[in-house]
Structure 1
Amino acid sequence: MNKLKNKSTLMLAVIAVAISSLLSACHSEEKEKESAEEQQEQAVETPAVELTPVKKGKLSSNITIPGELIPYQQVDLYAKINSYVKKLLVDIGSEVHQGQLLVVLEAPEINSQLAGAQSRIKQQEAIYYASKATYDRLVNTSKTPGTVSLNDLEQAEAKKNSDLANVEAAKSAYKEVSANLAYLEIRAPFDGVITSRNVNLGAYVGPGGKGSDPLFTLQDQKRLRLVVSVPESSTGALSNKTEVNFTVKALPSEKFTAQVKRLAGALDEKLRSERLEMDVYNKDKKLLPHMFAEVNVPLPGGDSTFVVPKTAVVTSTEKVFVIKVVNHKAQWVDAKKGLTSGDMMEVYGDLKPDDKLVKVATDEIRDGSTVKDK
C-alpha cells in the first residue's frame, strides 16, 4: 500500500511540473507575441527611413526619337504651256547639273503666233513712218508764217506719238510670244537626281494635259535634312550647337552623326513638339531620302538645379512630391520633374541645399507623420 501511495504522489508531482511548464511556455509566447505586435505598431506609427541630402547640380540626358531623312532640295518640274514632248534627255536615276537641258517640248502654234506678232510690228512701224513723215513736212511748212495752223501741227505730232506707242506695244507682244519659246526647254534648277518621270515621247503636257502630274521630280541627295520632332518637355535644353547620332534600319551596324542647324522656335499645334533639322552630308549616297532614322538627341543641363535620387520623387494620382524631414516630421513638398540621368533626377520646388529628404519615398509616409532615421 505504501508503495502504491508513493507512486501516485510521484505521478501527481510530474503532472504538476508539466502543467506549470506548459503554462509558463504559453505565458512566454503571449509576451513575445505582444512584444512583436508592439514593435510592429511602433514601426508603422514611426517608420524608419533612410535620408538623403538635397544638392545642387547639373544633369545631362538624352532622348531617342524617330526622325526622317528628306532631300535638302526637291522640286517637281511642270510644263508651263500646252505642248507635246519632243525629246526626253534624262530618265529616272539620271544625275543632272544646274542648267542642264532635261526635255524639249514642241508647240507649232507658237511659231504662228510669233510670225503674227512680227507682222504686227512691221504694220505699226509702217503707220508710224507715214505719220512721222507727215509731221516732219508740216513742221517744215510751218516755218513759213500763216501756212499751217498750230492745231494741225499738234494733231500731227499726237498722231506720230500714238503710232510710235503702237510700235512699242507690238514689240512687247512679240517678246511675250517669243518668251514662250524658252518654256519649251526645261532645264535643271540645281544639281540633283531625277527620281520620277511621268511622261513619254509625244505626250501632251501643260495646263490641259496630264493635270497635276509633274514631268519630273528632281532631288538634291548629296545633302539631306534629318527632321525630328522633340516633345515639349525636352525643348528647353535644345541648342543649335548640338550634335546628334542616328541609325537607319538599312545599315544597322553603322552610326551617323549630324549637326543641329535649324530650330523651329515654335511648337506644332497638333503634335505639341518642336521641329529640328540637321544637315547630313551624303556624298557616298549610302542614305536615301525618306528613310526613317532612330535619333539620339543629347539634352545638356541648363542652370544649376536640385538633383535627387529618382526614388525620392513620388508620383501619385494627385500630385508629384518629395518628402522632407524636419525634426523627425515628414513634410510633403510639391515638386516638378526635370531631366533624368541614371538614378538621379532634377526637381524644382520649395527646397534648400542640404534639406533632408526620404531617399525611398512612398505616399504611405503621410504628411506630418513622425519618422526616424535608420
Structure 2
Amino acid sequence: MSNEVEIKSPARVRGLRLIGSVVVLIAVGIVASGIVSRAHARQALTTWTNAQAVPTVVTFTPRHIDATQPLILPGTLAAQVNAPIYARVSGYLHAWYADIGTHVKAGQLLGVIDTPDLDQQLQQAQADLQNSIANEKLAATTARRWTEMLSQNSVSQQESDEKTSDLIAKQATVQANQANVRRLLALESFKRLTAPFDGVVTARKTDVGALIDAGSGTGPELFAVSDVRKLRVYVSVPQIDAAVIKPGLTATLTVPERPGMKFTAQMVDTDSAIAPASGTLLVQLTVDNSAGLLFTGEYTRVHFALPDDSQALTIPASALIFRRDGLQVAVVGKDNRAQLRTVTVATDLGSQVEIASGLQPDDRVIDSPPDSLAQGDPVRIATGQAGGNAAAAAIAQTASEPAHG
C-alpha cells in the first residue's frame, strides 16, 4: 500500500517528465545540427561545382610579325642569252673548231661549210656583172656620139633619145648585177660559222661531211652558244603573293648540288599576267654566275623575303574556332566573360595564321578554347600564363617559318 502511494506521488511524475523533455530537446538539437550541417555542405558543394564549371583558359595578345615574310618556291635557271646557230647556205660541213663546253669569243670560228653550188653561182654572177659593165660602157660611148651628131643635125632627136635610153637601161642592168654579186658574197660569208657573242658552246649537232640544208630556224641547229656569265631565273609565284612582287625585289637561290651555298638574285620583271592553268605569276630574276657555279636548265629553290601586311595580326592556329557561324576567335572581355569574334584569315602559315580583320592588338585571345564555350560565358584566366607565354613565343618564331608554294 505504501509503495503504490510513493509511485503515484506528484514529485516523482514531474521528475520523469523533465527528464523526457530534456531527452527530446537533445534529440531535436542533434537533428537540427545535422540538417544545418548538411545544408552548409550542400551550399559549399554547389559553390565549388559552380566554380569548377568556369573554364580556366590561357590567353595571349596577338602581335605583328616581322616586316618580311619568307616564301620558298621552285625555279629554273636559263642562260642570259642563248643563240642557236643555223646554216644560211647549203653544202657539206668542211670542219668544226669548237665542241661543247668550249668558251668562245665573239666572232670566233665554229665551223666552215663547203658550198660548191654557191661558188658557181657567184662566179656566174661576177661574169654577168662584167658583161653588163662592158655593155654599159659601149652604150655610154654610143649615146655620147649620137648626142654630138644631133648637135650637127646629122641624126634625128628620136634616134639620139633611143641611144640615151639604152645607156640608162644598161646602167640599171649593171646595178642589178652588182646587187646580185653582193648578195652572193654575203651568202659566201655564211660559209664561216662564228660565235655571235662571248659565251660557251652548249651544243654541236653536226660533224665533218654532214649534208647541210639552208634553213631559217626550222631545222636542227648546228651549234648553240650561251652567255652564262649571268643567268635568268624563272619562278611561278602564287596569285595570293603576286601583289607584293615588284621590280627591285631580291631573292636568295640554293641548288641541291651545292649545299650551304647561297646566291643572290635580283628581280627584273614579271609577265604581268596570271596563268589560268596554274593561277601563278611568272617572275624573272637575274643572278651573277661569273664563277660558273650554276648551270643552265637546273632546278633551284628561290627564297623570297616578301613585305608583310603591317595591319595583319598573327595568332596560333589552335586559337581558331570552326563553327557554322564561320571562322571565329574567342577573346576575354573586361568582365572576364568570353566574346566570340568573327575573323578573316589573310595568310595560313601552318602553325600560325595572319588575321586580316576581327581582332585588335590589345585583345586577350584564348588559346585552344573549349568546344562548349559560348558568347558571354565566364572564364578564369590561368595563373602564371605559362601556356600564353608559349603561344607568344610561337608567334615570335613565325618569321623563321618559311611558307612554301
Identify whether the pair has TM-score above 0.5, normalized to the shorter chain: yes
Q: Provide Cα deviations, 1:28-52, integer angstroms capped at 9, x if missing partner.
A: 9x969x9599649955xxx665555
Q: Provide Cα deviations, 1:143-167, integer angstroms capped at 9, x if missing partner.
A: 135x433333333222221221111
- Partners of 1:58 and 1:305 within 8 A in 2: no
Q: How does 1:66-215 map to 2 (within 5 A)?
A: 66-145=74-153, 147-207=154-214, 212-215=219-222
Match of 1:330, as an amino acid? Q
* Rg comparison, structure with higher value: 2
For residues 316 and 183 of structure 1, the distance between their equivalents in structure 2, rounded to whole angstroms, comes to 74
Aligned-residue sequence identity (percent) comes to: 21
- Partners of 2:237 and 2:282 within 8 A in 1: yes
Tell me by how many angstroms 1:213 deviates.
2.1
- Partners of 2:341 and 2:359 within 8 A in 1: no
For residues 362 and 95 of structure 1, the distance between their equivalents in structure 2, rounded to whole angstroms, comes to 69
For residues 194 and 128 of structure 2, the distance between their equivalents in structure 1, rounded to whole angstroms, comes to 31
* Cα distance change of structure 1 residues 234 and 251 upon mapping to structure 2, 3 Å threshold: same
Give the one of 260, 264, 268 matched to 1:258: 264
Tell me by how many angstroms 1:137 deviates.
1.5
For residues 51 and 136 of structure 1, the distance between their equivalents in structure 2, rounded to whole angstroms, comes to 111
- Residue segments in structure 1 that go unaligned for 5+ positions in a row: 1-19
* Cα distance change of structure 1 residues 82 and 103 upon mapping to structure 2, 3 Å threshold: same
Tell me by how many angstroms 1:351 deviates.
5.2
For residues 36 and 96 of structure 1, the distance between their equivalents in structure 2, rounded to whole angstroms, comes to 91
Aligned twin of 1:17: none
For residues 207 and 117 of structure 1, the distance between their equivalents in structure 2, rounded to whole angstroms, comes to 20
- Partners of 2:313 and 2:359 within 8 A in 1: no
| RMSD value, Cα | 3.7
Aligned twin of 2:346: 337
Match of 2:267, as an amino acid? K
Tell me by how many angstroms 1:179 deviates.
1.0
Match of 1:62, as an amino acid? P
Give the one of 228, 245, 260 matched to 2:235: 228
Aligned twin of 1:9: none
TM-score, normalized by length of structure 1? 0.77
Aligned twin of 1:8: none
For residues 140 and 361 of structure 2, the distance between their equivalents in structure 1, rounded to whole angstroms, comes to 97
Match of 1:120, as an amino acid? D
- Residue segments in structure 2 that go unaligned for 5+ positions in a row: 1-30, 382-405
Q: Provide Cα deviations, 1:214-237, integer angstroms capped at 9, x if missing partner.
A: 212222223222322221222233
Q: Provide Cα deviations, 1:293-338, integer angstroms capped at 9, x if missing partner.
A: 2222111224x30414134444668854444666746344241314
Aligned twin of 1:281: 288
Q: Provide Cα deviations, 1:270-292, integer angstroms capped at 9, x if missing partner.
A: 22222233322223322222221
- Partners of 2:250 and 2:266 within 8 A in 1: yes
For residues 266 and 277 of structure 1, the distance between their equivalents in structure 2, rounded to whole angstroms, comes to 13
- Partners of 1:99 and 1:188 within 8 A in 2: yes
* Cα distance change of structure 1 residues 316 and 248 upon mapping to structure 2, 3 Å threshold: farther
* Cα distance change of structure 1 residues 40 and 173 upon mapping to structure 2, 3 Å threshold: farther
For residues 371 and 239 of structure 1, the distance between their equivalents in structure 2, rounded to whole angstroms, comes to 49
For residues 241 and 345 of structure 2, the distance between their equivalents in structure 1, rounded to whole angstroms, comes to 14
Aligned twin of 1:242: 249
* Cα distance change of structure 1 residues 308 and 160 upon mapping to structure 2, 3 Å threshold: same
- From the two aligned structures, give the one with the greater strand fraction: 1
Q: Secondary structure at the match of 1:154?
A: helix
Tell me by how many angstroms 1:80 deviates.
1.6
Tell me by how many angstroms 1:104 deviates.
0.5
Tell me by how many angstroms 1:119 deviates.
1.4
Equivalences, count: 341
